[in-house]
Amino acid sequence: MRRKKFPAEVIGETVDFLTEKKFLDDDAFAKAWISSRISQSVGPQRISRELKLKGIARDIIERNLEELKAGYSESATLEELARQRLSRMKGLDPQTARRRVYGYLVRRGFSIDEIVDCLNKLSA
């Protein structure tokens, strides 16, 4: 609205109205975004980056991700994705397949330690 040169009082009134009607609620947006991305098997690190890029405050991101961890098993999701991806790479050298799955899971936003543990578990 500033770029369109609206008066400051109009901007303030608009923001107040939108906040009052819950159209501007970073906390609700973060919860909805996290829920949506988790259902798409996206990892917590990537979700955090996405919310940060959208301008959501760090404390809101951290609080909502902590709430998420109560009912979400990162290792189970990670293992399922790794198994699916590895099954597609049966003709490849095991080292190449492992490297490709590792890269895929890092890009999905999972923690490196969790990925390594999962891949070691699946390789054993």
What is the model's pLDDT at position 15? 87
Nearest residue to 100 (alpha-carbon basis) of 113, 111, 115, 114: 115
Determine the Cα–Cα distance for residues 79 and 124; give it in Å rounded to an integer: 13
Q: Both ends of the chain: CA-CA distance in Å?
A: 58
106 exposed, middle or buried (CB, 10 Å; 0-12, 13-18, 19+)?
A: middle
What is the model's pLDDT at position 54? 95
What's 24's DSSP letter? S
What is the model's pLDDT at position 72? 81
Confirm or reject CATH 1.10.10 for domain 74-123, answering yes or no: yes
Helix 94-107 and helix 112-123, axial crossing angle in degrees, nearest 10: 150
> What are the structural domain ranges in the chain?
8-70, 74-123
86: left (phi over 0), alpha (psi -120 to 50) or beta: alpha
Mean pLDDT per 10-residue section of the chain, whose length is 124 residues? 88 88 87 92 94 96 88 88 92 92 95 94 82
